[in-house]
Structure formats: C-alpha cells, structure tokens
Chains A and B, each alone.
Chain A
Amino acid sequence: QQQVKQSPQSLIVQKGGISIINCAYENTAFDYFPWYQQFPGKGPALLIAIRPDVSEKKEGRFTISFNKSAKQFSLHIMDSQPGDSATYFCAAPTGGGNKLTFGTGTQLKVEL
C-alpha cells in the first residue's frame, strides 16, 4: 500500500506570498504525481501533475518540484491570492490502473 505523507496540515499566507506544501511517498515504481484542489462544498479537481522524468513543472502561478532521490514532491503557489484559499491534496498511484493514494490534505488560507 502506497503511503503519502503531506505537510503542513494547515497554512496561512499573506496575499502575494508563496505557499509551499510538501509530500513524501514510499514506492519508487510509479510515474505520475498529481495535485488536487478542493473548494468548500465541492469535489476535488486536478490542479497540476508531474512525471518524475522532470524535476519541475510550472503552470501559471503553480509549480511542482520533484526530488526523486528524496522521494518528495512539493507544490509552490507564487503570488498567493485569496481565491487560492482551498484544501490541497497530493496523490500517488497505488497498484495498477487508475487507483490513487491521497495525502491527508493541506487547508490553505490566503489573507489580505
């Protein structure tokens, strides 16, 4: 069973600051690491994903950094905005097919 450890559990950032969320995984056999974003009352939605053949992927203000040797990957939100306030989940493939193991989530609040 793939374990994914996510930290911190909650995070408060000032508007314009950088939000950083970290995840660590155990099994090195897998090749796809997504981040999901969830707003209150809604289901999670894919935000950004990375394959471990690259060390970084950037989409707008969101960047995933991947450290294969340390078995860690992190989400960086640059110029954080109040609209980024949400819960963020990292995930990693578990077994075959489409199964994912999710981290425990990080509740981000961006203050004005």
Chain B
Amino acid sequence: NAGVTQTPKFQVLKTGQSMTLQCAQDMNHEYMSWYRQDPGMGLRLIHYSVGAGITDQGEVPNGYNVSRSTTEDFPLRLLSAAPSQTSVYFCASSKQGRDQPQHFGDGTRLSIL
C-alpha cells in the first residue's frame, strides 16, 4: 500500500516554463488537495477536489491548474512558472468527512530560477 505518491521529488525550472506535478493515491479516497509550504507561512491550500470531475479553488490558486479525471490522480499544473512559486508542494488525500485524517505525500521541492 503506497499511500500518496508524488513525483518528481525535486525540480528546477526557468521562469516561464510550464510543468505538471503528479499525485496519485491508492486508498480510494474521494477528497484530494494540493498545498504549498513556505517558511513562516505554514501550509496553504491551492486547489482541492471532492471527487472525479470536481475541482475547486483554495486560498492561493493563481498560476495553478488542476484536473481530476480519475479517483486516483490529481495533477497540479504550473502554467508559466514564476520565482514566487518556488516552494515545497504537498498533495493530500482523505475520505470525505471533516474529521477524516489527511494523508500527505512526501512533497515536491520546486525551484524557479
């Protein structure tokens, strides 16, 4: 049981490039989300999904797109990378329900030059 798998673990991009961060879970969880973690700012919600075909914006969605074509996968796309998007990105999944624990991947460390 792999849990939540994120790829790649590290990535360096140039300003203006685009890329997709992959996230897959094998727990059949309905809810999936993307966070970014920056020093002194905690974890901030970028986008989330309550099921296949349904996505919505979180606290900091600008510059990012998501899609949810299957229950298992929830990729995050950077459309035109900017230095302000340098961060560590975490994907999480959980069963539906406010008291359900969120299971996090080990993150993607992204640097934009």
B58 at the interface (CB under 8 A from A): yes
Interchain CB contact under 8 A, A98 and B104: no
Name the residue among A1, A6, A51, A98 with the largest chain B CB count within 10 angstroms. A98
Residue in A1, A41, A89, A98 whose CB lies within 8 Å of B106: A41
Q: Tell me the interface secondary structure of chain A in the complex.
A: loop
A44 at the interface (CB under 8 A from B): yes
Chain B residues within 8 Å of A45, by CB: 103-104
Q: How distant is A13 from chain B, measured CB to nearest CB, in Å?
A: 21
Name the residue among A41, A42, A99 with the largest chain B CB count within 10 angstroms. A99
Residue in A30, A31, A42, A98 whose CB lies within 8 Å of B102: A98
Size range of the chain A interface in the assembly: 20 to 34
Measured in the bound complex, the distance between the Cα atoms of B4 and A102 in whole Å is: 20
A49 at the interface (CB under 8 A from B): yes
Interchain CB contact under 8 A, B98 and A1: no
B78 at the interface (CB under 8 A from A): no
- Check A99/B58 contact, CB under 8 A, given A6-B42, A104-B41, A104-B42: yes
- Check A49/B99 contact, CB under 8 A, given A41-B106, A43-B105, A43-B106: yes
Name the residue among B31, B33, B94, B99 with the largest chain A CB count within 10 angstroms. B99
Chain A residues within 8 Å of B107, by CB: 41-43
- Check A43/B104 contact, CB under 8 A, given A1-B59, A97-B50: yes
B45 at the interface (CB under 8 A from A): yes
Measured in the bound complex, the distance between the Cα atoms of B99 and A104 in whole Å is: 21
Interchain CB contact under 8 A, B41 and A43: no
Within 8 A of A (CB), among B42-59: 42-45, 48, 50, 58-59
Chain B residues within 8 Å of A46, by CB: 101-102
Interchain CB contact under 8 A, B92 and A43: yes
Q: How distant is A44 from chain B, measured CB to nearest CB, in Å?
A: 5
Interfacial residues, chain B to chain A (CB-CB below 8 A): 4, 31, 33, 35, 40-45, 48, 50, 58-59, 90, 92, 94, 96-107
